[in-house]
Structure 1
Amino acid sequence: MAQSKTVHIVSHTHWDREWYLPYEKHHVRLVKLMDELLAILEKDPDFKSFHLDGQTIMLDDYVQIRPEKRELLEKYVREGRIHIGPWYVLQDEFLTSSEANVRNLLYGHRDAARYGAISKTGYFPDSFGNMGQAPQLLRQAGIGNAFFGRGVKPTGFNNEVSEAAAYESPYSEMIWEAPDGSRVLGILFANWYSNGNEMPVEPGEAVAYWEQKLQDAEKYASTPHLLMMNGCDHQPVQQTAAAAIQTAQALFPEQRFVHSNLADYAKAVSENVPEHLSVVRGELRSQHTDGWSTLVNTASSRIYLKQMNNQGQTLLEKTAEPLAVFAHLTGKAPYPHHLFEYAWKTLMQNHPHDSICGCSVDEVHDEMVARFAKSRHVAEAIVSDSLDALADEIDTSRFGRFLREGETAHPLAVWNTTGWKRSGVATAELEIERIYFRSGIGFAEMKKTLKTLPIGRLRMIDPDGEEVPFSYEDLGIAFGYDLPDDRFRQPYFARKIRVRFEAGRVPGIGHKTFAVVRGKQGGAGIAGRTAAGLAPANAPAGNDAPRPSLVTGPNRMENEYLAVTIEHDGSLTVMDKATGRMLRDLCIYEDTGDIGNEYMYKQPDGDLPITTKGLAADVTLAEDDPYRASFDIAHTLRIPVSADDTLGEEQRELVWFTGRRAGRSSVMTDLRIYTRITLEREGQGILVESAFDNQAEDHRLRMLFKPGIVAQTHKADSIFEAAERSNVPAAEWKKPSNCHHQQAFVSIRDERQGLLIANQGLPEYEIMQEESTAGIAVTLLRAVGEMGDWGHFPTPGAQCKGKHTARLMIVPFSPDELGQGKGGLDEEGAMVLAHQFQVPWLAQQTGMHGGRLPAVHSYLSWEGKGLLFSALKMSPEDAVVARWFNTEKDPRLLRIEPSFAVQEARESNIMEEPLERVDLAEIAAGPAEIKTVLLRPKT
């Protein structure tokens, strides 16, 4: 240690908002910590600064209890003694959506700005792996560095790093590069973010402490600047930090010890780094480590939470925000920024890594369920208000020209808030008559009138008067109420029907209207079903005419694109008509034991998978409509009820999961699995819904797809990219499984055939490499009984007992132009279907009236090969924010055609800051670039 060094000591706490204690118990401890921090800042001018863990939610949580301390907090933030932001929460990057990661930065920045200063530090201290596009997101937010703890293997400066070792670095400092080429200075906590914790004040202890700590830091440092993180998880403030620094300085005068902060440290390092730092590219997922440290199996802990999160994110970013933009552009409704902030923040309170990862005690995850519901209810209210405003503005008068004598029309509008044209089966509830309680009609007479009201013959038409295939259920009478803005609530009874129909070619970011036409009893049309699915007793005649069917044989259905056969064991064989290739062994179930914990999957030694391969299944026809066919498949798997008794003993004695010897119980139980397979007339994917009631413990259930495709790599939907990953881990990988994260899909392909598996809220998959072919396994359930990590924390809720439903879609695609020329999807088209699969159809009844909006309308149309649509919202300055990202490795062009008058169009960054003006007819999107455009409407 002859060379002079500067030792940067950064006081901090890593604050898991909830984890091994419920939120409110951590909350109490946070208030104590913050009280102590403010007190030490006030009384000790030598306590220079404190890093508040990169997340502004800690401030909200504190002032909720201590509102009188807000001014004092603002004072120390402005003075640079408390460093806050840039995030709202320290999220798990892979289990939250692309747009949720952006909102996290947006709201973190806005909150920090209200306190007076933003820490421009890309802080990822304990992320379970890092998203590949993080450098681009950080650069767009004006941040040039990233601090992280996992995903790169430090080798020490005496070790050589090979060219192939893309995730190794001799130093704790490196260049981290995103797929688009954006670069930041990456700083790895090579000795973790607690390497300067609890510094001794007493000289005798301090000598040994600092000799070891300095040696450890120097091993990986590329500059004379050493980082010591003075804190750890939920660590109270070390009030003697200033005195301990003085002790260290006296003992080691050849070094310079400073009470520093991350911004000053990053600046000092960037001014002194060697010319040729290692460059790590893309996702930091420990490809070249032992595979354990990124804790990937948290993707399958408590999958019900992931499904709720997927629903909540989709509802906000893909439904509520676009609809609120549409309503705002009509002038009928102001954009509810305040409600969106509340809904997003409530949702993001579930996004910290120990929360959304499902790796906390049961009380934490019980509270998360309530938060998901709260956020969802606000989003649903925004959607309802927007649809009401929009439906009144749509011109439906054209349906009048298609009515026959004695007919009445009940128009409805269908919204497609995805970025692409869409066809599919939609459902809507319609009132055919309503009577308000205020009408003066007696209660009994009101109900009798509606109950005995003849529905008559029904038909459905599109805006051109063309007949639309549909079916309906008579729902009888239903209570409802209006909540007017200017009167007391208005209750009523209504006679309702539920219609299901094929919504064809609905424009992207737009709507299309339809009408249910009701004729007199005995007229032409179709009769429906009652709510129980039975033909009504008074069903009119003429309902037995042959209807086109997608069912082409026993256990077989097909449309223009696909032919699906259900084999005797319930697996699917699918023919892709564009390529002529048969894809076999799809939708096989596999169950294995799991003696791990909420963090890690661990299959017992010698455990053999129990599968439905070759197991006879019960197959029945469930639906046979002109627009859709479905089969139901029932399996009974005999599986162990739990692990054997050894597991409980090993858990109590803190036997690390890798060394456990427990097996599965010899007591067996039945796991009944019900699968519905659906093919729509215009569908280029096969819908799969799996339902089961789990009463077993300590096991994992997956769905397997083994299509016989030869592939060495695969693609997975990730944060603003379709990440290409190797099917086989690096040689250093020691973990038995090779699971990964996904967002909307995972896909494999060879020269002749591709297969994409889309999912709704099932983020864990594994590529099964068998000789030369690759298959896909998607986790549906993982049931374990303990939290894991540093002690014994039983979590019976993580056994996930009860009813579960999982939804997937099988999408064959054609990698070559020949198959695409025959009507097959290319890979981009398959990705589009996967993204659309996330977003529900929305339908709203309206009346017969004129309006400013046409019957078929897109609010914003666009073209751009290789680009995926990501967001449509309003900025705080009420500019329309539209975002895409380029999935390709070469530049692409984007063309935008808004249907509204635009005063000004500018490029933007993810922070919604206006940049240079753009020509909407030709916007350049670089390789893998996240492209945001601001459109200021004319008023």
Structure 2
Amino acid sequence: MGKVVHVISHTHWDREWYMPYEKHHVRLIALVDELLDVLERDPEFRSFHLDGQTIMLDDYLQVRPERKEELERYIREGRIRIGPWYILQDEFLTSAEANVRNLLVGRQDAKPYGRWTKIGYFPDSFGNIGQAPQLVAQAGMEAAVFGRGVKPTGFNNSVQQSDSYESPYSEMIWESPDGTRVLGILFANWYHNGMEIPVQDEEAARYWKERIAAAEQYASTPHLLLMNGCDHQPVQTDVSEALATARRLYPDTEFVHSNFEDYVRHVQSQLPDTLNVINGELRSLRSDGWYTLVNTASSHVDLKQRNATGQTLLEKVAEPIAAFASMQGEAYPHHLFTYAWKTLMQNHPHDSICCCSVDEVHMEMITRFEKSRQVTEAIIDEHAEKLAARVNTSCFARYEKALPFVAFNTSGWPKQSRITVDLEVERALLSAGKAAELIEKLSSLPLSSGCVVTETGEALEASTEDLGVRFAYKLPNDRFREPYYARIIRVSFMSDPIPALGYCTYAWVPEVKSAETAATSLVTSPHSMENEWLSVRIEDNGTLTLHDKHSQQTYTGLGWFEDTGDNGNEYVYVKPQGEAALTTKRLEMSSCELVEESCGSATFEIVHQWKIPSEANPLLQNEIEAMVPIMERKAKRSHTTVPLIIRTRVTLERGARLLKLSVSFNNKAKDHRLRICFPTSIIADTHYAESVFEIAERNNEPYPEWVNPSYCHHQQTFAGIDSDTAGFMVSSEGLHEYEVLRDGQNTIAVTLLRSVGELGDWGVFPTPDSQCLDWHSATLTIIPYSGRLSRIDAASEAYRQSIPLVVRQTEVHSRELPPTHSWFHWEGEGMLLTTVKASAETGDLVARWFNASRRHTVLAIDSPAPGDGVWYKSNIMEERLQQLDHTAGNPIHIPVRPAEIVTLVYAQPK
């Protein structure tokens, strides 16, 4: 058969980028208005691809509700193609569950229109995750289309010629770590190779000769893809006339105004047997390394931390808490979760969460993060209080004035942790008297010493702080608000292990002393501490020497800081040529003092008083304005300095196999990057990092084509390195960029801050707010372990640490739930739990894991009480696929492939 040119009309719609959202929004309204008019007047205009994201429908109808009927008609007719996503996310900087919610919300939004495009569409993701084939296959898709990852891409997305393509064709087989395969289609000539098609014969002849030849260069079949559009490109209204010209000029070539589903079907029918199989992550590693755009992971770290917090609260706390409450008969607030997720995901488009946009975009992102978080916290508060009210606390009735509280552990593993909770000793309604009188009365209440007791009456060591009288209010569901004052105490103690997916109940009781224990202080000297598993010494330069008693490994020089200049932009880090990095390795710490020692933990604070260059010299601004390529910039750091005071708190807890770090500083410098570094001295050629539904293994040395001195990577929450006998992991929240230094020590360097002053890319866009001149803080966890066979155990610890406990005060009462409880149990070597929630479509309980190992394993799970429901094998779209047989009282055993994503749904009886 002859050549078939598939022209797909589209626009790539960055919701916000080089203009703030509302300015892009105005242009979107004009674009869709024009599209609807074209579809009405031109029956030959067959199809328009609405960029694979349903949020464009919401954004349009927010302003144009009167045109909904037209829009719906053309979608149902297949002339406007929508989905599969809600937004076009950055895959690496959004969590595993956020990637799934993106598909679920996209399908949910498309459902009323009767169509959902089943194509894995990744046109401009800054690299593609390794598990994407498994995700799209589980969503019922057979192909994924993407723009980056397997070819060199240069400035302004220019296509670079190279012999280092992973595939000689634009078509390839893309395989996930679990073995799932889909057809992968690369925009080998980018997604604008068919834009602005000429109508006039002479211009059209030149155009088609060039564009067809370019497409044929990479196509493995006679079906050639030309994308008729680009970033924010208006509809080409005369495309039908332009195609008529093409058909007249090239009678032996078929020109089709096409869509992705038809195009993929035709390509699949003629694929050769010689397609390359590409495995896992697509990160353009066979390139010079300058335009992989990995350094977007460290642009506006503060916003990425807000995102990480929002995701964790939604998917790891609010959804499980609400799911547990629904199992007790409470309504699951699907509508609120959809709103909270949509609001959060509006910050997940690649130009938003990557923070490679103008300052106005980042300012609006803060508002969205806050809105989503506030809704999430309201959900947590309501359902935690409802559950706490159902817990039987009558075991504390024997204590006078007992203050019971329930600690919920929504992680998939038992968790022992230091708990700090504020408790109301007594409250007085504002309606009962004047404020001053109530305050005086509450303030005069005598507070005796006391302790925390368990349900069995065991007394635990606790510290109690009197916080005085505070104003508060209650909002009953059946009457007007109730303002009141309350006397508050703050109680801190080390908990017993709290069951996974469950809770424990405690009470603070006055005039009871904790039992005498033989426990000794963790502090062993003015600069050291030790527990059962670890010993820590703080050296004169502020670095840590850590000894792991289990593996008998000693790590030295941990936690030094590195600061370098940055001549780059929000996309790319560029160290000034010829300049050496500044470090604290030879800088004596200003102070080190014990700031807390109580209740089974100890904390030292280390202070570094450092002076660093205040900014780049004036040449950098001239180079930015002249659009000098970043690799050619000659600017140096200024000789003027500003203070950088770094406070690092180091905490060790009794029984813990990890060390917690909290770093804070006030950034007063511009044009620089700050990292914290951990030399491991572990001999290995590869390292690993948590990615989306996998622990990805990566080479320490780049490919020969790589010339960028920096070799940074993405992580979700942790990265590490191990051998047969030793392992070292660094976990953090919202710090997505790390590098394993090629320094002979396999040092793990985690980026804390990157300050730059321009967006970059195709124009001059100053971004002074991206210098991040403000207070910053970060939390990190050091997890040493005994070698690669224990890697998943360390990952489980990182997951457990990242999920906060939820603690709620309640009353002494007799209720249906026991004082200690877990809603269901699971086991599985190598398995990591990522979600517990309720399905929006069926109401089923949903639980999802992935096999973090590269070995076959078995997942065992029991049924939630009372156990008369049914478990089904499912997929990421939460569909009931296969009923799982089990007998009452016995767990179900499910075989799991290496790296497989496993979703189970539990249908409760009606």
Sort the TM-score into its range (normalised by shorter chain).
over 0.9
Contact 2:467 2:489 in 1 (8 A): yes
Q: Of 566, 572, 580, which residue of structure 2 is paired with 1:594? A: 566
Report the residue type matching 1:269 in the other structure. V
Q: Which position in structure 2 is the counterpart of 1:539?
A: none
Contact 1:154 1:172 in 2 (8 A): no
Q: Which position in structure 1 is the counterpart of 2:414?
A: 421
Report the residue type matching 1:881 in the other structure. V
Q: Which position in structure 1 is the counterpart of 2:232?
A: 234
Q: Work out whether 1:729 is the aligned partner of 2:707.
A: no
Q: Which position in structure 1 is the counterpart of 2:878?
A: 912
Q: Which position in structure 1 is the counterpart of 2:485?
A: 493
Q: Work out whether 1:126 is the aligned partner of 2:96.
A: no
Q: Of 340, 349, 354, which residue of structure 2 is paired with 1:352? A: 349
Q: Which position in structure 2 is the counterpart of 1:168?
A: 166
Kindly report which structure 2 residues correspond to 1:616-765, keeping only aligned pairs within 5 A, or say none.
Answer: 616-617=588-589, 618-765=591-738
Kindly report which structure 2 residues correspond to 1:60-209, keeping only aligned pairs within 5 A, or say none.
Answer: 60-153=58-151, 168-209=166-207
Q: Of 773, 776, 784, which residue of structure 2 is paired with 1:812? A: 784
Distance in structure 1 (CA, Å) of the matches to 2:185 and 2:778: 39
| Residues 616 and 336 (structure 1), Cα distance of their counterparts in 2 relative to 1, 3 Å cut | same
Contact 1:893 1:924 in 2 (8 A): yes
Distance in structure 2 (CA, Å) of the matches to 1:525 and 1:345: 48
Contact 1:902 1:935 in 2 (8 A): no
1:183-219 residue CA offsets vs partner (Å, 9 max, x unmatched): 1100000000000010000111111111111111110
Contact 2:604 2:650 in 1 (8 A): yes
- For structure 2, which runs of at least 5 residues remain unmatched after alignment? 154-159, 886-890
Report SS of the residue matched to 2:102.
Answer: helix
Distance in structure 1 (CA, Å) of the matches to 2:228 and 2:855: 44
Q: Which position in structure 2 is the counterpart of 1:28?
A: 26
Distance in structure 1 (CA, Å) of the matches to 2:693 and 2:528: 38
Report SS of the residue matched to 1:257.
Answer: strand
CA-CA distance at 1:554 after TM superposition: 1.8
Kindly report which structure 2 residues correspond to 1:464-483, keeping only aligned pairs within 5 A, or say none.
Answer: 464-483=456-475
Q: Of 332, 335, 338, which residue of structure 2 is paired with 1:338? A: 335
Kindly report which structure 2 residues correspond to 1:155-554, keeping only aligned pairs within 5 A, or say none.
Answer: 168-331=166-329, 333-401=330-398, 403=399, 407-439=400-432, 441-519=433-511, 524=513, 548-554=520-526
Kindly report which structure 2 residues correspond to 1:547-586, keeping only aligned pairs within 5 A, or say none.
Answer: 548-586=520-558
Contact 2:194 2:227 in 1 (8 A): yes
Distance in structure 1 (CA, Å) of the matches to 2:788 and 2:727: 10
TM-score normalised by structure 1 residue count? 0.94
Report SS of the residue matched to 2:425.
Answer: strand
CA RMSD for the aligned pairs? 1.7
Report SS of the residue matched to 1:632.
Answer: strand
Deviates more, 1:80-89 or 1:807-816: 807-816
Contact 2:660 2:779 in 1 (8 A): yes
CA-CA distance at 1:637 after TM superposition: 1.7
Distance in structure 2 (CA, Å) of the matches to 1:515 and 1:285: 52
Distance in structure 1 (CA, Å) of the matches to 2:307 and 2:868: 35
1:321-364 residue CA offsets vs partner (Å, 9 max, x unmatched): 00001111111x20000000000000000000000000000000
Report SS of the residue matched to 2:674.
Answer: strand
Q: Of 829, 832, 836, which residue of structure 2 is paired with 1:865? A: 829
Q: Which position in structure 2 is the counterpart of 1:529?
A: none
Q: Which position in structure 1 is the counterpart of 2:845?
A: 880
Q: Which position in structure 2 is the counterpart of 1:851?
A: 815
Q: Of 780, 792, 795, which residue of structure 2 is paired with 1:831? A: 795
Report the residue type matching 1:469 in the other structure. E
Distance in structure 1 (CA, Å) of the matches to 2:112 and 2:300: 36
Distance in structure 1 (CA, Å) of the matches to 2:513 and 2:31: 75
Q: Of 740, 748, 770, which residue of structure 2 is paired with 1:776? A: 748
CA-CA distance at 1:524 after TM superposition: 4.6
CA-CA distance at 1:442 after TM superposition: 4.0
Runs of 4+ in structure 1 deviating by more than 4 angstroms, as ranges, are 159-162, 523-526
Deviates more, 1:633-642 or 1:913-922: 913-922
Report the residue type matching 1:121 in the other structure. I
Report SS of the residue matched to 2:407.
Answer: strand
Contact 1:161 1:169 in 2 (8 A): no
Q: Of 759, 770, 795, which residue of structure 2 is paired with 1:787? A: 759
Contact 1:592 1:700 in 2 (8 A): yes
Deviates more, 1:17-26 or 1:827-836: 827-836
| Residues 363 and 902 (structure 1), Cα distance of their counterparts in 2 relative to 1, 3 Å cut | farther
Kindly report which structure 2 residues correspond to 1:41-60, keeping only aligned pairs within 5 A, or say none.
Answer: 41-60=39-58
| Residues 152 and 688 (structure 1), Cα distance of their counterparts in 2 relative to 1, 3 Å cut | same
The percent identity for this pair of structures is 53
CA-CA distance at 1:547 after TM superposition: 7.2
Contact 1:860 1:899 in 2 (8 A): yes
Report the residue type matching 1:271 in the other structure. S
- For structure 1, which runs of at least 5 residues remain unmatched after alignment? 527-542, 818-825
Q: Which position in structure 2 is the counterpart of 1:532?
A: none
Deviates more, 1:366-375 or 1:828-837: 828-837
| Residues 222 and 154 (structure 1), Cα distance of their counterparts in 2 relative to 1, 3 Å cut | farther
1:442-486 residue CA offsets vs partner (Å, 9 max, x unmatched): 433321110011111211111221121221211100011110011
TM-score normalised by structure 2 residue count? 0.97
CA-CA distance at 1:261 after TM superposition: 0.8
1:852-876 residue CA offsets vs partner (Å, 9 max, x unmatched): 1111111111111100001000012
CA-CA distance at 1:154 after TM superposition: 8.1
CA-CA distance at 1:307 after TM superposition: 0.1
Contact 2:355 2:362 in 1 (8 A): yes
Contact 2:121 2:145 in 1 (8 A): yes
1:578-613 residue CA offsets vs partner (Å, 9 max, x unmatched): 011111111110000000000000000011111110
Contact 1:549 1:626 in 2 (8 A): no
Q: Work out whether 1:840 is the aligned partner of 2:804.
A: yes
Report the residue type matching 2:838 in the other structure. M
Distance in structure 2 (CA, Å) of the matches to 1:33 and 1:347: 25
CA-CA distance at 1:525 after TM superposition: 6.3
Report SS of the residue matched to 1:743.
Answer: coil
Distance in structure 1 (CA, Å) of the matches to 2:634 and 2:246: 47
Report SS of the residue matched to 1:185.
Answer: strand
Report SS of the residue matched to 1:152.
Answer: coil
Report SS of the residue matched to 2:341.
Answer: helix
Report the residue type matching 1:717 in the other structure. E
Distance in structure 2 (CA, Å) of the matches to 1:45 and 1:348: 36
Distance in structure 2 (CA, Å) of the matches to 1:358 and 1:216: 33
Q: Which position in structure 1 is the counterpart of 2:899?
A: 928
Report the residue type matching 1:315 in the other structure. L
Q: Which position in structure 2 is the counterpart of 1:530?
A: none
Report SS of the residue matched to 1:914.
Answer: coil
Distance in structure 1 (CA, Å) of the matches to 2:584 and 2:592: 14
Report the residue type matching 1:454 in the other structure. P
Report SS of the residue matched to 1:263.
Answer: helix
Distance in structure 2 (CA, Å) of the matches to 1:837 and 1:209: 58
CA-CA distance at 1:923 after TM superposition: 1.1
Report the residue type matching 2:87 in the other structure. V
